Amino acid sequence: MKFTARIALATALLVGSLALAPAAAQNVTVVVNGQVMSFDQAPVMVNSRVFVPMRAIFERLGSTVSYSNGNINAQGNGRSVHLAIGSLNASVNGNPLTMDVAPFLVNGRTEVPLRFVAQSLGANVNWNGNTSTVYIGTSGNNNTSTPQPYATQTPSYQSFYLNNEHPANGATVKTTHPKIHATFNQQVDLNSLHVSVDGNDVTSLVYTNASGFDVTPGFALNPGSHNVNVSGTTSNGASFNTGWTFYTSNTATSTAQNYIVNVSPAPNTRTGSSFTLSGRTLPNSQIHIVATGTSTIGGLFQIGTGTFQSDVTADSNGNFNVPISLNVLGGGQIRVILTSVSPNGASVENQVVYGV
């Protein structure tokens, strides 16, 4: 039974450490009683909560802390605090509380929710969204009142940060024209978005939507380090300026990954039998378009109504457009196949369908 219990505990700890996907909190500063704290492992963000290494914050707030088999126990300021890895249940002075995000492990280190810990120990917590700073103040007395459940303490802020960066931060790629991608943790004012690579503005080449962006630089990246910078404002008006670094290897090839984006009209919409198709691909690519029309007769039979073909060349920014016209009856559809081949031979094919 003891062996089984140990396996169950180990499994719970492993699940607790793997189930979350923490992201490094971008430039978050923690100030306690006017002094900036330093951590040997940077704060991380989970569900808009700032997490910090357990021992550093407990001891800075005047408490002693112990850790055993996933259980965290702290004593200080006339309070006792208990948390557990992977559990939303906590207690302060024996009073049960519920958190909205559980403590977890990152690189073998125990991470705890900063606001909950500080308030549990009687400190005041404030957030400055303009500077991404958490201010913590202690009163110096032994206030033993119990904080409200953490789930009711929803802050009015959400720090902006990027997720799913590609190439990943610190990664090395073997192409001089990598596709650069990242997603946003919250909505962004797309008109404000600016993206640069090594100081070169590539915003005009960016394909973006509410969840993130993609861009392939129109220039070759030399071997070495490369910096991606992303700036703008969120839909709430908060400004951000962040980014990451990746590397190009000495053996990188010059073959760029091709793409077809910003296709308009939007796929699966009604266009009529004549319309202008536009989009963006790698600069100076050759685009071959084949459009096939289908009409429905009597609501039962489908017949082909002809094929349209055209070849165009994308401009220096990768933009292209071509007028398409087919004799398709109302209720029919037009299927378009686009094939783009870049000057260095990288090809890609997309299919879109429109109603008539």
Q: For the chain, how are helix, strand and coil distributed in percent, rounded to 5? A: 10, 50, 40
pLDDT tens digits for 199-224? 888 887 787 776 788 888 877 888 88
User: Could you give the number of structural domains in the chain?
Assistant: 3
- Residues 341, 313: contact at Cβ < 8 Å? no
Last residue of a domain, one of 199, 218, 253: 253
Averaged pLDDT, 147-171: 62
Of 149-153, 184-188, 204-208, 336-340, the least confident: 149-153
CA 7 to the chain's CA centroid: 34
For residue 56, give both structure tokens.
Answer: 């550093």
Categorize the per-residue pLDDT at 139 as very low, low, confident or very high, splitting at 50, 70 and 90.
Answer: low
Q: What average pLDDT does the structure give for the chain?
A: 79
The better pLDDT of the pair 189, 142 is held by 189
What CA dihedral angle connects 59, 60, 63 and 69, to 10 degrees?
-40
Cα 123 to Cα 33: distance, rounded to the nearest angstrom: 10
Q: Are 42 and 49 in contact (CB under 8 A)?
A: no
Residues 107-122 have pLDDT tens digits of: 778 899 988 888 888 8
The last residue of one of the domains, among 132, 152, 172, is 152
* Domain annotation covers residue 157: no
CATH number at residue 140: 3.30.457.10
For residue 238, the enclosing domain spans 162-253
pLDDT of residue 340: 92
Same domain? For 9 and 138 the reply is yes
In degrees and rounded to multiples of 5, residue 265 shows phi and psi of: -60, 160
